Structure 1
Amino acid sequence: MASEKATKKSTASTTRRTLHYYWQVTRRHFGLFSLLMVSTFLFVALLSYGNPYVMSLIVDKVSAGPVSSDEVFSTFGPFIIALIAINVFGQAASKLQDFAMYKLQIAASYDLATMSFDALCNQSMSFHSNRFGGTLVSQTTKFMSAYQLLLETVTFPFLPVVCSVVFTCAILAPRVPVYVAILMVLLAVYAGISYYMYKRILHLNEKAASAQNHLSGELSDSVANILAVKTYGREAYERSLFDAANKDVVARDSRRMWASLTRGIITACITVVIMSVVTVFIAGGNAWYGITPGTLVMMFTYTYTVTNQFNFINNGLQRFNRAFGDASGMTATLDEPRLVADLPDASDLHVREGRIDFENIGFWYTDGAVRTRVFDGLDLHIPAGQRVGLVGASGAGKTTLTKLLLRLSDIQEGRILLDGQDISLCTQQSLRRSIAYVPQESLLFHRSVAENIAYGRPDASMEEIREAARRANALEFIEKLPQGFDTVTGERGVKLSGGQRQRIAIARAMLADCPILVLDEATSALDSESEKMVQDALAKLMRGRTSIVVAHRLSTVASLDRIVVLDDGGIAEDGSHAELIEAGEAYARLWNRQTGAYLE
């Protein structure tokens, strides 16, 4: 019980936060929103209430006595003109409503997509490492669709309901106050029960949306890794995971369906009671209260209209439930604190020399309740232009150190300086534009080869792109591709081999021409001949630049100015290749092990 109450409380909080984000967007287009509300008000007032009102006047006129044929237009002419005018302006209001609705949805969708994209792009790598990419895409799509659904629900069922109650009271209360009082009590009961059941069902919709997001994530994960699935013959296993997620969706949707049906049955019973009351009043209204035929017509028409509108409330609340449930995932993401964020007064970083200082670095990461410390009081000073290799056992923190330099994660203790500037006080974009980064797994977009190479310098000329490709030993294979530099690489570069992808990534780093270079196993995917050629190109690229090279193969770093061995949260050894070999410690043992393996 306590858990269920906590879940409902959390759902209510998420709903408020969703409305907060939606109102932020709506407020930017308040003119369109106001036009939508006013046009809806006029549409309901004229077509749903203006027409029956004029008709009631005609009925009363007819009931008063016969009208001769030559007096029809003189007697009913004003009513005819009024009906025509009401329908003309009512239809105009309807089209104005359509225009405002479309324009607002288009404008708001753009803003919501931008809001979601910015939130995802500005989150830390830790955030993305713990989430399915497919789930985040699904959440973004549902977040945008939920706004459109909410806007349509407010415009069509709910605003007309409010208008109907107001107009019914304003027109009928002076004529049949007892009837209006009874009707309002019944409608209040209807609305109260609907809202109570709406709150009970809301958390079911959030759970259903969460299950669907998980299903999208499972599908995305399997498709993205389809090669592993097929090569290991794990289709049945992946099918079982997908089937379990799919069954969870069915179970949660079924609970939501039965709850909605129950609410619909209860509210339908109240509608029957309301129509029974109006039938009694219409049957005996003239005899008991002297109500005119025209007023009886209005009573029936208006009551039928307002109860129909209230019937739509049930459907509208169901749509509200679905919308808030669909939006909950992205709302939680938007509420997620940014683990790596620029300070409000962050300045741009200006790197001229490329000196790097890691001072008393303390860093740990948490996975659930488990905290794993990676660095404890690490100090590392790299002079400008020095080429430094980082080696050590897996998990020693080599790649982590480069990611801290790039602020893909933030340190908990100490500081990192570039040319004496604390990177935590600078903007992340200016920092990363000063560092060319080539990771172990090449990162290619589903775009042309030329666009991928020029990603760090989009204003580069085609000649500069070709030259970067040549220096990275990539020009020859690129020119053999079907469309050369215009060839689309496929998602994550799937159309290219591992070595080809890596050489394009290296060409990108070459073209970026940054003062600091970070290579994280950058040549690991190359064959021996290509590796030698690329290493020669990288040697030229590193000349005069501060370079950090992460490598498991020690032959990759043996020729560098300095080698740092990381172990147990700190620096175990630090020196040139020759110095470390002479010392005969951890680096020498690793070197002997690797070269011994080569000799065997």
Structure 2
Amino acid sequence: MKRERALPLPAGAQPAAGAPAAPDEDMRTLRRLLPWLRPWRTRVALALLLMVAAKLATVGVPLLLKALVDALTPLPGLGAQGTALVLVPAALVAAYGLLRWCSSLLAELRELVMLRATEGVTRALALRAFEHLHALGLRFHLERQTGALTRDLERGTRALQSLVSYALYSVVPTLVEVALVLALLIWRFDVGYAAITAAALVLYVVFTVRVTQWRTRIRRRMNELESASSARAVDALLNFETVKYFNNEAWEARRYDDSLQRLGRARAQTQQSLSLLNAGQQLIIAVALVALLWRATQGVLDGRLTLGDLVMINAFLIQLYLPLNFLGVLYREIRQSLTDLGRLFALLDRAPEVTDAPDARPLQLRHAPQVRFEDVRFGYDPRRPILHGVDLEIPAGRTVAVVGASGAGKSTLVRLLFRFYDVDGGRITVDGHDIRTLTQASLRRAIGIVPQDTVLFNDTIEVNIRYGRPDASFEEVREAARAAHILDFIESLPQGWQTVVGERGLKLSGGEKQRVAIARTLLKNPPILVLDEATSALDSASERAIQTELRRLSERRTTLVIAHRLSTVVEAHEIVVLEQGRVVERGTHAELLARGGAYARLWALQHSATAPGT
């Protein structure tokens, strides 16, 4: 029997990543798959017709082979050589070859008919999963492991291809062929031949199912280790600079090698169980072959069967051998594919934490809006509140800065404004509208942000700046770069605008990345602007230039500034001081200094830290 690795498995035939699914779970997965096939039902029906026609041609081959062998029996008046010269080349050999060619041709036509449908369904499901991942909340993406998640997505979409191409057009053809062969054996011979074949088939299926269920537990462990190993490698590569900073290449290599060793042991157990399965399947088929051929040989010796009958029975058995062997592989791969697809559907079933209300309406702004935080309470974990009744107002067209120590809740305000999370209490309004009554797309379209930690796509500088408004003209992109004081740098590069910035923008310095982020936000041209330590990675001269541009930009917008360095917010219309999720002070820079409270202490601390000689 062929080894499993020698069979031409499709891309979807990947091991299951989760626990073996129960039959009712498999049926639920199949029922969920059917709606995705409905747009392609015409192609599915045509492929089924081609499949039946191909199997009829396949079953007809042994019948022609019998006629060909019997035709070699000498006819009256002709020797054996004369009979062969007259009959065999003229009819049977040509028909035999034609029928074999038709069987292959019909099978290929079936694959061509289903190709577009399979690709269409795979594309639709992959796109739906991609969109759903973007719809899930920030909490999900902070908790996920990128390597394991992408592997689940890959397995799920490829499992769909496996189910469509194998389950629908390989299992059904095999069952059709088995039914036709059993009917022919009963019709041409007696029930005994069909009984032996059917018994072998039932025993083969039962043995395969039982052993495969046992193997699935072993493969589940192997796949968990495989995912963990992949996630470990991806995580280390994503944090390449951190690994280098702490000189931990050897430690990361040891951790990766440890995961590879565990994976190797699991793979060895999987191969051992596969060998046991293959040996048992081969034994069942061998016993059935011996029993049928012995019975047919006795029939020829007794004169009840011709030599052609013996050859036909042997040909039928050989034709059934491959489908039976393939059926075992199919069962294993289909069960694994159902599990993989079930995991993907479970991901699609995961409800987004933040959703649009049924009556949500788009935010329409004709001017810079007023933004208010009214008695806002929030905690990432209910047991650990972050914000305690924060009241904050950003008047239309004004700039309000929020300062405070790390962990005070400043960045949480930004996440709530973008509606990455919903507040636990109170509300946030834009132009008088509770943001929970607005569509998320329209709300986020109205807000632009220059984050402290700028992450860029591994693409060109032009693409990264244009991301702020993909339909912008090149002149608009260029003007945004000029306003962000990065145009001269871009045009001095050997590849200019087509320079690829590398994974997460690692080819650029921190200041260059932040200028790209500023240009991207300038291009978006939003009515609400959020500056989260927007110049923290810049040198003093560049910071002054950018601050001047940001102040000009903020004049026509409602601006929220998050800052640690108080020198960057002295010109804000109002400064709000947060401590442990509570507003402790608010006022202008001069008012807060005169008050001598928390802000004055922070100012004195930073001023002394930056004084010459300190």
Query: TM-score, normalization: structure 1?
Result: 0.90
Task: Map 1:359-438 onto structure 2 (within 5 A).
Answer: 359-366=374-381, 371-438=383-450
CA drift of 1:178 comes to 2.4
Task: Map 1:557-596 onto structure 2 (within 5 A).
Answer: 557-596=569-608
Matches of 2:101 and 2:337, distance apart in 1 = 34
2:37 pairs with 1:37: no
Q: Which moved more, 1:26-35 or 1:119-128?
A: 26-35
- Per-residue CA deviation, residues 432-462 of structure 1 (Å, 9 max, x unaligned), is 1100111111132222222222212222223
Aligned AA (2:316): Y
Aligned partners of 2:20 and 2:335 also within 8 Å: no
- Per-residue CA deviation, residues 148-176 of structure 1 (Å, 9 max, x unaligned), is 34444336753342122111122112231
Q: Which runs of 5+ in 1 are unaligned?
A: 1-6
Q: Which moved more, 1:350-359 or 1:83-92?
A: 83-92
Which one of 217, 230, 248 corresponds to residue 234 of structure 1?
Answer: 248
Which one of 113, 121, 131 corresponds to residue 144 of structure 2?
Answer: 131
2:463 pairs with 1:451: yes
SS in 2 for 1:415: strand
Return closer, same or farther for 1:536/1:336 CA change in 2, 3 Å cut-off: same
Which one of 154, 166, 173 corresponds to residue 167 of structure 2?
Answer: 154
CA drift of 1:521 comes to 0.9
2:322 pairs with 1:308: yes
Matches of 1:289 and 1:404, distance apart in 2 = 89
Partner in structure 2 of residue 347 of structure 1: 361
CA drift of 1:517 comes to 0.3
Matches of 1:430 and 1:258, distance apart in 2 = 57
Aligned partners of 2:372 and 2:392 also within 8 Å: yes
Between the aligned residues of both structures, percent identity stands at 34
CA drift of 1:215 comes to 1.9
Matches of 2:229 and 2:41, distance apart in 1 = 37
Aligned AA (2:364): H
Aligned AA (1:231): Y
- Per-residue CA deviation, residues 121-162 of structure 1 (Å, 9 max, x unaligned), is 222222111223233333333333333344443367533421
Partner in structure 1 of residue 482 of structure 2: 470
Matches of 1:67 and 1:387, distance apart in 2 = 112
Aligned AA (2:371): I
Matches of 2:339 and 2:83, distance apart in 1 = 63
Q: Which moved more, 1:447-456 or 1:156-165?
A: 156-165
Aligned partners of 1:208 and 1:325 also within 8 Å: no
Aligned partners of 2:64 and 2:92 also within 8 Å: yes
Matches of 2:343 and 2:249, distance apart in 1 = 29
Aligned AA (2:430): L
Partner in structure 1 of residue 134 of structure 2: 121
Matches of 2:535 and 2:88, distance apart in 1 = 95
SS in 1 for 2:500: coil
- Per-residue CA deviation, residues 50-71 of structure 1 (Å, 9 max, x unaligned), is 1111222344555595573489
SS in 1 for 2:458: coil
Return closer, same or farther for 1:244/1:342 CA change in 2, 3 Å cut-off: farther
Matches of 2:35 and 2:219, distance apart in 1 = 24
- Per-residue CA deviation, residues 18-39 of structure 1 (Å, 9 max, x unaligned), is 5456544433333333343333
Which one of 259, 265, 276 corresponds to residue 251 of structure 1?
Answer: 265
Kindly report the root-mean-square deviation, in angstroms, between the aligned alpha carbons of the 2 structures: 2.9
Aligned partners of 1:160 and 1:309 also within 8 Å: no
Which one of 193, 198, 217 corresponds to residue 179 of structure 1?
Answer: 193
Aligned AA (1:509): T
Matches of 2:117 and 2:562, distance apart in 1 = 51
Aligned AA (1:134): G
Partner in structure 1 of residue 288 of structure 2: 274
Matches of 1:185 and 1:13, distance apart in 2 = 27
Which one of 233, 239, 249 corresponds to residue 225 of structure 1?
Answer: 239
Q: Which moved more, 1:62-71 or 1:278-287?
A: 62-71
CA drift of 1:17 comes to 6.2
Return closer, same or farther for 1:338/1:580 CA change in 2, 3 Å cut-off: same
Matches of 1:187 and 1:226, distance apart in 2 = 55
Aligned partners of 1:444 and 1:452 also within 8 Å: yes
Partner in structure 2 of residue 142 of structure 1: 155
Matches of 2:72 and 2:37, distance apart in 1 = 49
Matches of 1:44 and 1:105, distance apart in 2 = 21
2:198 pairs with 1:188: no
Q: Which moved more, 1:288-297 or 1:504-513?
A: 288-297
Matches of 2:437 and 2:76, distance apart in 1 = 89
- Per-residue CA deviation, residues 410-446 of structure 1 (Å, 9 max, x unaligned), is 3333332211223223322211110011111113222
Matches of 1:210 and 1:324, distance apart in 2 = 17
CA drift of 1:214 comes to 2.2
Task: Map 1:402-551 onto structure 2 (within 5 A).
Answer: 402-551=414-563
Aligned partners of 1:209 and 1:326 also within 8 Å: no
Q: Which moved more, 1:590-599 or 1:326-335?
A: 326-335
CA drift of 1:531 comes to 0.6
2:316 pairs with 1:297: no
Return closer, same or farther for 1:212/1:56 CA change in 2, 3 Å cut-off: same
CA drift of 1:520 comes to 0.9
Matches of 2:303 and 2:363, distance apart in 1 = 84
Aligned partners of 1:11 and 1:202 also within 8 Å: no
SS in 1 for 2:526: coil
Query: TM-score, normalization: structure 2?
Result: 0.88
Q: Which moved more, 1:187-196 or 1:101-110?
A: 101-110
- Per-residue CA deviation, residues 279-334 of structure 1 (Å, 9 max, x unaligned), is 22112234669344443333222123223321222333343355456556544433
Return closer, same or farther for 1:37/1:412 CA change in 2, 3 Å cut-off: farther
Aligned partners of 2:226 and 2:263 also within 8 Å: yes
Aligned partners of 2:447 and 2:529 also within 8 Å: yes
Aligned AA (1:363): F
Partner in structure 2 of residue 4 of structure 1: none
CA drift of 1:515 comes to 0.5
- Per-residue CA deviation, residues 203-233 of structure 1 (Å, 9 max, x unaligned), is 4334333322222222122122222212321
CA drift of 1:278 comes to 0.6
Partner in structure 2 of residue 3 of structure 1: none
2:113 pairs with 1:103: no
Matches of 2:419 and 2:605, distance apart in 1 = 34
Aligned AA (1:205): R
CA drift of 1:8 comes to 4.7
Q: Which moved more, 1:337-346 or 1:225-234?
A: 337-346
Aligned AA (1:340): V
